[in-house]
């Protein structure tokens, strides 16, 4: 690499692949999955339809959808090895770490773990996506000393997760709200976790390893960990009256408001309005609007504040996900893992898309250390 070659900090603006999965127009706040506007999909489809769309390229017919649902149902059950790993993990860790451990156990049980045949990769994508909600619900219950709830035979992906988490069938509203959440976070172009999955896969390793890398990346506060951080922030603020001083103090001490800002969007994240709506209705049904109202107040005040308007900092997907997931009873530390049970679809769709003509992703760094250094044996140093 020459000394004059520009370094793109954070790879901002660098195009690393072609994709037909999703398109983001950050200036205008538009997100499309395979050409379909997210607004048309968010509240009128099931998560399973979006899985089909992302994995197989078109919205399914009724029989294609039934077939996919049956395949998912047949893989919802966790194997004894995965259950045993989940039950022996420390109860103090992050649920998304438990999912990484369980993903590794799935890989080690799979005799064709290394197959890169496109059909095999797709089959494993379905198996992982089917198992992820069960893994997360199981870990949360086990660490609380409760029994694992086996999957429901009738409920769809969203309702079944909430059922396995609580042991009770969710209300229709709760199920619809979580379904919408899963749809909205399923895929998002070359986000950091998708990129890390693609980098890992490009070394010609297995799908499980690529997904494990993506899980580790999603956990970060600048990415999927922001939903938990945003909820902690809302709890820290406590009341609507405290929002204004909290913002002022944050600006003074340079503390970021979680769930605000985005690398690509310079407008409000198009997913926020759907999450805001469900955050409100689920909170209403639960009889506690506190956290929704604190979030709305915070958005209103940032929309009037020059620091945020000048920098075009608006709520991202995590902002209203936080009070919504909280009202749905998902523990705060499990929120990044709840994100993963949807994004597994986007990751695996990307990895399958990457397969034909896959090339090792290996960028360069500009060396800034000494040009040469004189070597001395250990007894002559110091
Ligand atoms: C998402 C995020 C990492 C994008 O970061 P980025 O594209 O690298 O943007 P930068 O860190 O360069 O920030 C640009 C400016 O906006 C400010 N800024 C960005 N996000 C901010 C936030 N949430 N609160 C306060 N200020 C913020 C930065 O301080 C910087 O200000 P400056 O120009 O005076 O230095 C960032 O907005 C953030 O940390 N948000 C909070 C975490 C979050 O919600 N993540 C989930 C993303 S979906």
Same-domain pairing of 346 and 299: no
- Residue 319 CA: nearest ligand 1 atom is 44
Region 368-372: mean pLDDT is 96
Tokens 């954070």 belong to residue: 10
The CATH number linked to 134 is 1.10.580.10
Same-domain pairing of 167 and 239: no
Report CA(9)–ligand 1 centroid distance (Å): 14
| Ligand 1 neighbourhood includes 231 CB (under 6 angstroms) | no
* Number of structural domains the chain divides into: 2
| pLDDT value at 126 more than 80 | yes
Domain stops at, among 309, 327, 345: 327
Region 191-210: mean pLDDT is 98
The CATH number linked to 304 is 1.10.230.10
- For atom 6 of ligand 1, which residue has the closest CA? 263
pLDDT at 43: 87
pLDDT at 1: 63
- Residue 261 CA: nearest ligand 1 atom is 37
How many Å apart are CA 157 and CA 170, to the nearest integer? 12
Report CA(261)–ligand 1 centroid distance (Å): 5
Residue 358 lies in a domain: no
How many Å apart are CA 205 and CA 8, to the nearest integer? 27
How many Å apart are CA 280 and CA 295, to the nearest integer? 10
Mean pLDDT for the chain overall: 97
Supply the pTM of this predicted model: 0.96
pLDDT at 382: 86
| pLDDT value at 184 more than 70 | yes
Report CA(120)–ligand 1 centroid distance (Å): 39
List all residues 6 or more positions away from 283 whose beta carbon is below 8 Å from its beta carbon.
289, 290, 291, 292, 323, 327
Share of the chain above pLDDT 90, in %: 97
Residue 22 lies in a domain: no
Region 91-105: mean pLDDT is 97
Residue 26 lies in a domain: no
pLDDT at 61: 98
| Ligand 1 neighbourhood includes 269 CB (under 6 angstroms) | no
Same-domain pairing of 126 and 242: no
Report CA(51)–ligand 1 centroid distance (Å): 30
Share of the chain above pLDDT 70, in %: 99
Report CA(262)–ligand 1 centroid distance (Å): 6
Q: How confident is the model at residue 162 (pLDDT cuts 50, 70, 90)?
A: very high
pLDDT at 66: 98
| pLDDT value at 3 more than 80 | no
222-259 CB burial, b ≥16 within 10 A, e <16: ebbbbbbbbbebbeebeeeeebeebbeebeeeeeebbb
Same-domain pairing of 91 and 181: yes
| Ligand 1 neighbourhood includes 228 CB (under 6 angstroms) | no
Range with the poorest average pLDDT among 3-12, 116-125, 193-202, 325-334: 3-12
| Ligand 1 neighbourhood includes 10 CB (under 6 angstroms) | yes
Residue 6 lies in a domain: no
What are phi and psi for residue 291, nearest 5 degrees?
-75, -30
pLDDT at 4: 76
CA distances from 24 to 55, 65, 68, 92, 267 (A): 19, 26, 27, 37, 11
Residue 137 lies in a domain: yes
Same-domain pairing of 174 and 253: no
pLDDT at 6: 87
Region 177-182: mean pLDDT is 98
Host domain of residue 345: 40-188+333-353
Residue 2 lies in a domain: no
Do 184 and 317 contact (CB within 8 A), yes or no?
yes
**Residues 245-269: tens digit of each pLDDT:** 999 999 999 999 999 999 999 999 9
What DSSP letter does each residue of 42-65 carry, written as one string? HTTS-HHHHHHHHHHSSPPPHHHH
How many Å apart are CA 66 and CA 174, to the nearest integer? 23
Residue 47 lies in a domain: yes
| Ligand 1 neighbourhood includes 317 CB (under 6 angstroms) | yes
Same-domain pairing of 56 and 151: yes
CA distances from 107 to 125, 138, 143, 349 (A): 12, 18, 23, 18
Ligand 1 pocket test: which of 10, 188, 246, 261 has the largest number of ligand atoms within 8 Å of its C-beta? Answer: 261
Same-domain pairing of 46 and 115: yes
| Both structure tokens of 1 | 């690499």
Same-domain pairing of 184 and 315: no
pLDDT at 123: 97
Do 180 and 273 contact (CB within 8 A), yes or no?
no
How many Å apart are CA 305 and CA 5, to the nearest integer? 38
Same-domain pairing of 72 and 142: yes
* Count of Cβ atoms closer than 10 Å to residue 128 Cβ: 24
| Ligand 1 neighbourhood includes 260 CB (under 6 angstroms) | yes
Same-domain pairing of 293 and 177: no
| Both structure tokens of 268 | 């409000």
| Ligand 1 neighbourhood includes 318 CB (under 6 angstroms) | yes
How many Å apart are CA 215 and CA 212, to the nearest integer? 5
**Residues 28-75: tens digit of each pLDDT:** 999 999 999 999 999 899 999 999 999 999 999 999 999 999 999 999
| Residue (of 239, 321, 318) closest to 279 by Cα position | 321
**Residues 273-298: tens digit of each pLDDT:** 999 999 999 999 999 999 999 999 99
| pLDDT value at 309 more than 70 | yes
- Residue 311 CA: nearest ligand 1 atom is 16
Same-domain pairing of 321 and 343: no
How many Å apart are CA 296 and CA 282, to the nearest integer? 15
| Ligand 1 neighbourhood includes 316 CB (under 6 angstroms) | yes
Residue 51 lies in a domain: yes
Same-domain pairing of 158 and 47: yes
């Amino acid at each position: 690499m020459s000394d004059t070659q520009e370094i793109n900090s954070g790879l901002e603006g660098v195009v690393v692949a072609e994709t037909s999965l999703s398109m983001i127009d950050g200036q205008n706040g538009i997100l499309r999955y395979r050409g379909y506007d997210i607004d048309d999909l968010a509240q009128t489809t099931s998560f399973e339809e979006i899985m089909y769309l992302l994995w197989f390229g078109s919205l399914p017919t009724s029989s294609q959808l039934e077939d996919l649902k049956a395949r998912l149902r047949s893989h919802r059950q966790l194997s004894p090895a995965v259950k045993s790993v989940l039950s022996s993990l420390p109860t103090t860790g992050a649920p998304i770490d438990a999912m990484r451990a369980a993903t590794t156990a799935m890989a080690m049980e799979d005799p064709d773990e290394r197959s890169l045949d496109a059909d095999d990769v797709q089959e494993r994508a379905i198996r992982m996506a089917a198992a992820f909600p069960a893994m997360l619900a199981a870990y949360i219950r086990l660490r609380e000393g409760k029994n694992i709830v086996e999957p429901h035979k009738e409920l769809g992906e969203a309702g079944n997760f909430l059922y396995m988490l609580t042991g009770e069938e969710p209300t229709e509203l709760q199920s619809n709200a979580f379904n919408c959440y899963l749809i909205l976070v399923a895929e998002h172009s070359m986000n950091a976790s998708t990129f890390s999955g693609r980098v890992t896969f490009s070394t010609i390793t297995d799908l499980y390893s690529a997904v494990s890398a993506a899980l580790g990346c999603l956990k970060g506060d600048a990415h999927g960990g922001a939903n938990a951080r945003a909820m902690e922030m809302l709890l820290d603020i406590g009341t609507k009256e405290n929002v204004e001083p909290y913002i002022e103090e944050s600006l003074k001490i340079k503390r970021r408001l979680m769930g605000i800002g985005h690398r690509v969007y310079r407008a409000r994240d198009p997913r926020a309005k759907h999450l805001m709506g469900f955050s409100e209705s689920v909170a209403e049904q639960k009889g506690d609007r506190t956290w929704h109202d604190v979030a709305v107040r915070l958005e209103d005040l940032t929309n009037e504040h020059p620091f945020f308007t000048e920098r075009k900092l608006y709520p991202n997907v995590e902002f209203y996900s936080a009070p919504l997931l909280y009202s749905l009873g998902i523990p705060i530390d499990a929120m990044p893992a709840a994100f993963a049970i949807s994004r597994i679809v986007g990751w695996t769709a990307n990895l399958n898309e990457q397969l034909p003509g896959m090339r090792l992703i290996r960028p360069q760094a500009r060396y800034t250390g000494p040009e040469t250094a004189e070597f001395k044996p250990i007894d002559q140093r110091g």
